[in-house]
Chains A and B, each alone.
Chain A
Amino acid sequence: MLIIDKLAYASKIREKSPGLKVALSMSTLIVCISTNSILMSILILIIMGYLTVKYSQVSFCRYLKFLSLPFTFLMLSTVAILFNISSEPGDLWNMSLGSLFLSISKADLIHTIKLVFVALSSVACLYFMSLTTPMVDIIYVMKKVKIPKLFIELTLLIYRFMFILLDMADSIGISQKARLGNISFKARMKSISMLLSVILIRALGKANNLYNAMESRCYDGNIRVIWEHKNSTKKEKIFLLIYIMLITSIGILIRLKEIV
């Protein structure tokens, strides 16, 4: 989480229009999900992987490591979809459990592989966005596309406070360790529970202090701040448009030809 944040600020296209980056990633994401095909997903993985490695500060190896995180999670969760328990044997693999069969059918296998690829390439789209666009810029795009003010203000505050609370948790954790708070399993459990409760209490205190500080700067319930951002150039816009048209037509083609 925090590494991604740091990388986003260090990205080579940090200064480019955030709208452009978000649009690129979101349009690809939509095409990816609506096409729902392995071929398309692989194509998108390649495009997004290339763009991310080229424009963010992430090396290819590190990018694979980032992808392996959701990949492991996906593998574990798709096991349930892959296996089937029924009275009919499947057409690929079977194990009898008394009168029932634990089986894998061909359709299930394809479905599972498709799911893994679509999910993975969707993550790649989001990685491109979050590794090149800092949160502040994403919030700006949220504002531009007229997401309700409440959500934007909440995002703004949550994003800032996440770091404050994490810092707090970190220093409390260190001070617990310094007093042997993690010497045994029992002690560790106790330390964690105390840490969580103290963070809740402090978060409430922090919220109160922040409110006072904002009040003293004439806060009236609306958070007003300036939004300054680079606009995209004409060339970039045209490039994005061509890209979206291209990828959408490939998607439509794949759907029409019914390629998996």
Chain B
Amino acid sequence: MNEIIKVKNLSYSYPDGTKALNNISLDIERGQRIAIMGANGSGKSTFFLHLNGVIDPVDGEVIVDGIKVGSSKEATIETRKKVGIIFQNPDDQLFAASIRQEISFGPLNLGLTEEETIKRVDASIEKLGLKEIEHKPTHFLSGGQKKKVAVADIIVMEPEIIIFDEPAAALDPKHIVMLDEIIYNLSEEGKTILVSTHDCDRAVRWADRVILFNNGQIIGDGTPEEIFNREDLLKQTNLEKPAVVTFFDSLKENGILKDDLKMPRTMEELDVYIKNAFSDRCICEK
């Protein structure tokens, strides 16, 4: 029993009657790295807002670490302590003009003392490499820097579950790699990570579980190996098979790689397969 999030038959409709979530049930284990994938408007963001009680579950229930979300005011506060969301657009999240003030908002809301807060703010600034810009005003920052501050905003509260809502949106490749590192490090610390993304190539690298959303429903849930080989599901959610998997499949089809090999997660892994295959051949020919 190591489930940290339990969602049971969750449904949600917008005030205009559009169904955003339709009977969703899933369990998430502590320490998992989950990629939530699906077309725009498939209900990912709405689902996230349910997980920390910004939207109270009306139809169905969400249980976070034993607490029923939305059952009482205290429960909502407890959930928000446990679940941190990094929103897609940092401009929607950063409200203070000073970075240090911005980061201090969460911990002070948790009831920490000023000294403790300053200590934590310093630590998260250090962790994300924001030292150089900590005295700049928010509106002078670049998109990537704002994103980092948005991440610092959340990790300073030390939640157990961290949700990234489309973290790579509007970031340049360098910052995307940096963000992947941040996600990896947080996961190493034992945090449970949920990331919504459209980028299969990156998701296949780090995810240990992939959940596909479509029209407010979960249509696929499994390991990357299981999900990224289901072309029908990927098509339904407007996703493309990761390049590394496509290439791997083609190599197998053409008899260059053996059929029983495990799906590679990165190009480097695939490279090793190919090298091994060729060195095997050379030995045979000799």
Contact = CB atoms under 8 A, between A and B. Distances in A.
A225 B105 contact: yes
B124 interface: no
Interface string A186-230: 000000000000000000001001101111111110011111100
B97 A213 contact: no
A224 B139 contact: no
B118 A160 contact: no
Number of chain A interface residues as a range: 20 to 34
Interface of B is mostly: helix
Contacts, number: 97
A225 B108 CA distance: 7
A49 interface: no
B96 interface: yes
A210 B109 contact: no
A129 B118 CA distance: 28
Contacts of A160: 94-97, 138-139
Contact of B91 (A135, A164, A216, A220): A164
Given A212-B49, A213-B85, 13 more contacts: A5-B137, A9-B136, A136-B137, A160-B94, A209-B87, A210-B95, A213-B87, A214-B105, A216-B80, A216-B85, A217-B157, A218-B106, A220-B109
Interface of B: 49, 52, 54, 77, 80-81, 83-85, 87, 89, 91-98, 100-102, 104-106, 108-110, 114, 117-118, 121, 136-140, 153-154, 157
30 contacts: A9-B140, A136-B96, A136-B97, A157-B95, A160-B94, A160-B97, A160-B138, A206-B92, A210-B93, A210-B95, A212-B49, A213-B93, A215-B80, A216-B52, A216-B54, A216-B85, A217-B109, A218-B81, A218-B157, A220-B109, A223-B95, A224-B105, A225-B101, A225-B102, A225-B104, A225-B105, A226-B100, A226-B117, A226-B121, A227-B101
